Structure 1
């Protein structure tokens, strides 16, 4: 959420920055509501002062036996009470309207974010690895003989509908191994703290990280009001919500492996084949809570943590900085990491790392107390480290063999109890 004082002091700059995200002339409506709200508050305070002064005079008039003055003052007190109530209601309504607008406005992009309309305008900033040269036509993950019967979309559809999958046998084991490997790497090498969080959260938790109110249709809500998390970003980022931390508490770096749930309401017809876009999937998430001066450097650090997973797996990738038209709602700058998928002959997103500045911290009121001065809002960052299902897809496609088998990446062999291949019949060897 945006600081109303910043908008009040720099409306032109605010509008110019939001215009980079396709919004124009926003500040005029905001400031009109803010002016009305502040006027109502000031009028209520003035009326309260008049009522208090009159209340003090009521007793004196009665003591003097001045009945006319006593009745006038008593009527004035009653009238001011009604006036104050009306003005406070007016201020409250304006405040709610102002908050409603501010909650639906996206974050302001960093100056170094490229302008653009969509993913075609994203800018590549890093590339690692060379796609393997295959002397056979590569298959997509769900076509591989090694996963036939172990990647079951039909039974999942019978149980739950489209965009679900049942994994079994060696494929399920490889999926589990990937998640374990990611967690161990982030904890032991990258210094993140492993956390197990709920997957059901309250509306205010979703509101704090920016999933509500704008993206309610993209998530699932239970009949008693809980929401299924679309990512562990929601829970991990919300750990310091409503708190004032000591400066020494920062930075905090978390990681969690959770199921994630998304309705994919805005992606009808996209990536319907295979496991690329599911309603339920697993992800190892990274979240950092840092001092404002450290957030930009932390984004680079987080990006390197995600890239390291792919490098250890031997998976070629490229990293792009998203343009203003492709960037997420709460982000100031985003680095997308795209892994090479030979079955599609293209790079596909497997991680998205973003710095949100104080955008989420303001919504959830998460602050720290510096050595000197008043409490300040922390900065928050989040990133996939990685999406487990998409990592499974990438391993299956990049390590496929002409006989239909899949070689297991060396770094995962210990997690597979020494097995090095998924044979074409689905068995481990």
Structure 2
């Protein structure tokens, strides 16, 4: 959410920053609503002052026995009281209009984010590893016999419909091993605090991280009003909602492994085969809360944490900075980490690591008290996948596939698989 005071100070700069994201100018409309709101507030204050003055004069008239003056002043008090009520209601209506308008606007991009309209304009920062050169035609994950034996899309469709999967046997165990491995690395080596959170949240939690009101159609809501989280970013970040923490308590670094749910309303027809884009999936999510001065360094650190998982798995990947037209709603700057998938012959996103500045913190009123004293300030929030578990499974299968249809799994996963390192074409872990 944006600060209306900052918009008042520099409306042209605000519109220019939004224009980088392809958004039409809004400052004139917002300032008009703001002016109407402030006028109603001032009118209410003036009416209240007149009401108080008339009340005092009525008391004086009553005291000196001037009944006619007392009755006239009492009528004026009643009139001004009604006027105060009308002006306060009008001010609240304008305030609601302004709040809803501000909530619908995306975050402003960081000045060093490249301009662009879509993923073609993203800028590569670096690469790690070399995509494997297979001596046979690469299969997509759902075509590799070792994986296909443990991925039952037909059973999932019977249970739930399209874009679901039932994992069995070695695939289910490999999926679980990947999540456990990611958690262990982040907790033991990267210093993140493991956190377990609900996957059903109140509407204000979704509002706080920016999923609502704009993207309600991309998420699921229960009949009771709860929302199913699209990512643990929602719960981890909202742990700070309404709080004021001491600066010494920052940064706060958390990680959670959760189920995630997305309707994929904005992705109709994309990636309909296999596990790449599902309605229900798992992620190991990282969230950091920090001071404004430390957020750039924290963004780099979190990106390295996500890249480190791929390095340990031996998976070739590249990191790109998203252009203004490809960034998510709440992001100020985003690094996408893309893993090489031989079956598709291309790079595919496996993690997005974003810094949001104070955008989310302002929506949820999450602040810190500076060590040197002074007024509380909004924290900066950051989030990133560390990693998407299903997509990591896809990458391991496609990069580890052999010509006979088996899959060789990365050595670092062996401790989680009873020391075994291979899945046979029949789907047996050996």
What is the TM-score normalised by the length of structure 2? 0.99
Partner of 1:406: 407
- Distance in 2 (CA, whole Å) between partners of 1:241 and 1:59 is 47
Match of residue 345 from structure 2 = 345
SS state at 1:170 partner: helix
1:383, distance to aligned residue in structure 2 (A): 0.1
Question: Cα distance, 1:72 vs. partner?
Answer: 1.4
2-side partners of 1:128 and 1:190: how far apart? 20
1:202 pairs with 2:189: no
1:211-256 Cα offsets, whole Å, 9 max, x none, are 0000000000000000000000000000110011111110000000
In structure 1, the residue matched to 2:295 is 295
1:317-375 CA distance string (max 9 Å, x none): 01100000000000000000000000000000000000000000000000001121100
Secondary structure at the aligned position of 1:231 is classed as coil
Q: Which residue of 1 aligns with 2:104?
A: 104
Indicate the SS of the match to 2:8. helix
User: Match of 2:9?
Assistant: 9
**CA distance in structure 2 between the aligned counterparts of 1:355 and 1:238, rounded to whole angstroms:** 15
CA drift of 1:92 comes to 0.3
Unaligned runs of 5+ in 2: none
Aligned to 2:378: 377
Deviation, 1:125, is 0.4
Query: What are the within-5 Å matches in structure 2 for residues 242-391 of structure 1?
Result: 242-371=242-371, 372-391=373-392
Partner of 1:390: helix, strand, or coil? helix
Q: Which residue is 2:140 aligned to?
A: 140
Tell me the distance in 2 between the aligned counterparts of 1:244 and 1:424: 55
* Distance in 1 of aligned mates of 2:237 and 2:130: 35
**How far apart in 1 are the matches of 2:149 and 2:246?**
53
- CA offset at residue 149 of structure 1? 3.0
Structure 2 residue aligned with 1:187 = 187
Superposed CA offset, 1:181-209 (max 9, x none) = 00000000000000000000000000000
Within 2, Cα distance between the matches of 1:88 and 1:427?
A: 70
Give how far 1:133 is off.
1.1
Distance 1:134 1:285 in 2: 32
CA distance in 2, matches of 1:44, 1:15: 31
SS in 1 for 2:162: coil
Return the offset for 1:127.
Answer: 0.5
Measured after TM superposition, the shift of residue 10 of structure 1 is: 0.8
* Residue-by-residue CA offset, 1:107-130 (whole Å, 9 max, x unaligned): 000000000000000000010100
How far 1:50 sits from its partner (Å)? 1.1
Paired residue secondary structure (2:383): strand
Paired residue for 2:416? 415
How far residue 97 of structure 1 moved from its aligned partner, in angstroms, is 0.2
- The number of equivalent residue pairs is 429
Q: For 1:4-55, what per-residue CA distance to the aligned partner results, in whole angstroms no more than 9, with x for missing partners?
A: 1000111111111111011122100000000010111011111111111111
Helix, strand or coil at the partner of 2:266: coil
For 1:66-122, what per-residue CA distance to the aligned partner results, in whole angstroms no more than 9, with x for missing partners? 122111111110010111011001100000000000000000000000000000000
2:391, 2:421 → 1: CA distance?
20
Secondary structure in structure 1 of the residue aligned to 2:427: coil
1: CA distance, partners of 2:104 / 2:52: 40
Secondary structure class of the residue paired with 2:137? coil
Out of 341-350 and 45-54, give the one that drifted further.
Answer: 45-54
- Which residue of the partner structure matches residue 168 of structure 1? 168
Tell me how far apart the structure 2 counterparts of residues 114 and 163 of structure 1 sit (CA, whole Å): 33
CA contact (8 A) 2:149 2:426 kept: no
CA separation in 2, counterparts of 1:246 and 1:237? Answer: 17
Cα-Cα RMSD:
0.6
Unaligned 5+ segments in structure 1 are none
